[in-house]
């Protein structure tokens, strides 16, 4: 059911941190999805927004960079195996859609989403920002999460254009 994102029933921290989400971007010809549990939702520039953190080495990153927007999808617990798979395997080396059995479709704005999701957020990019080592005010996250090789995350702030799910 199409809904007002401000009326989603779920606790948003639990939804992202514990339930996890799929970040999916691309075109009907080629798209990719990955699991994420860093990010948030809120209100910025008088808009309902999401912000997600994506490492540049993810295959999904290329699709987010190349298109106007992406979807965030949230699932019932029975899809945990699918989310686990999308969080350890890369679409560069496998067909995640075939392996998970998820059913892709394209939203009104043409972004890929999944029929099995209980919440779908259609998100249009507004701002992108590369995290910088020098900007950390506390070294703990830097030392914990960016000690090994690999890029710092890029943050995407995106407007929620449409949301589907159960509302209050
Ligand atoms: C629970 C969980 C949460 C994750 N959260 C993020 C995240 O917020 N940002 C990120 O860049 N990668 C995150 N990952 C890692 C990606 O999902 C993983 O590297 C994936 O294989 C990337 O797939 P791709 O190369 O097909 O894009 C997470 C993985 C798991 C299992």
Tens digit of each residue's pLDDT (9 = 90 or more) over 67-120? 999 999 999 999 999 999 999 999 999 999 999 999 999 999 999 999 999 999
**Distance from residue 168's CA to the centre of ligand 1 (Å):** 30
Distance 62 CA to ligand 1 centre (A): 14
CA dihedral in degrees (121, 17, 148, 33; nearest 10)?
Answer: -30
How far, in Å, is the centroid of ligand 1 from the Cα of 165?
Answer: 23
Global pTM exceeds 0.85: yes
Per residue in 6-32, pLDDT tens? 999 899 999 999 999 999 999 999 999
Out of 34-48, 58-72, 99-113, 146-160, which region has the weakest mean confidence (pLDDT)? Answer: 146-160
Judged against a pLDDT cut of 90, whether residue 137 lies above it is answered with yes
pLDDT at 144 over 70: yes
Q: Is 77 left (phi over 0), alpha (psi -120 to 50) or beta?
A: alpha
CA separation, residue 51 to residues 27, 41, 128 (Å): 21, 6, 9
- Is the shortest distance between the CB of 60 and ligand 1 below 6 Å? yes
The pLDDT value given to residue 46: 98
Structure confidence at residue 33 (pLDDT): 98
The number of the ligand 1 atom at minimal distance from the alpha carbon of 84 is 31
Average pLDDT over residues 44-73: 98
CA nearest to 164, candidates 114, 102, 126: 114
Nearest CA to ligand 1 atom 20: 87
Binding site membership of 150 for ligand 1 (Cβ less than 6 Å)? no
pLDDT category at 150 given cuts 50, 70, 90 is confident
- The rounded Å distance from CA 107 to ligand 1 centre is 23
H-run or E-run covering 18: none
Q: What is the CATH number of domain 2-164?
A: 2.30.110.10
Do the Cβ atoms of 166 and 3 come closer than 8 Å? yes
């Amino acid at each position: 059911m199409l809904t007002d994102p401000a009326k989603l029933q779920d606790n948003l921290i639990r939804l992202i941190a514990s339930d996890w989400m799929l970040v999916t971007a691309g075109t009907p010809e080629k798209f990719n999805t990955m699991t994420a549990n860093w990010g948030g939702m809120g209100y910025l520039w008088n808009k309902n927004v999401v912000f997600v953190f994506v490492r540049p080495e993810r295959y999904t990153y290329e699709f987010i960079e190349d298109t106007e927007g992406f979807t965030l999808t949230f699932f019932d617990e029975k899809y945990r195996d699918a989310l686990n798979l999308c969080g350890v395997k890369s679409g560069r080396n496998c067909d995640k859609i075939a392996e998970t059995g998820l059913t892709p479709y394209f939203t009104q704005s043409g972004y890929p989403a999944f029929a099995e999701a209980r919440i779908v957020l259609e998100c249009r990019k507004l701002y992108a920002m590369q995290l910088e080592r020098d900007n950390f005010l506390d070294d703990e996250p830097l030392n914990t999460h960016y000690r090994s090789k690999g890029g710092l995350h890029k943050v995407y702030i995106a407007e929620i254009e449409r949301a589907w799910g159960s509302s209050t």
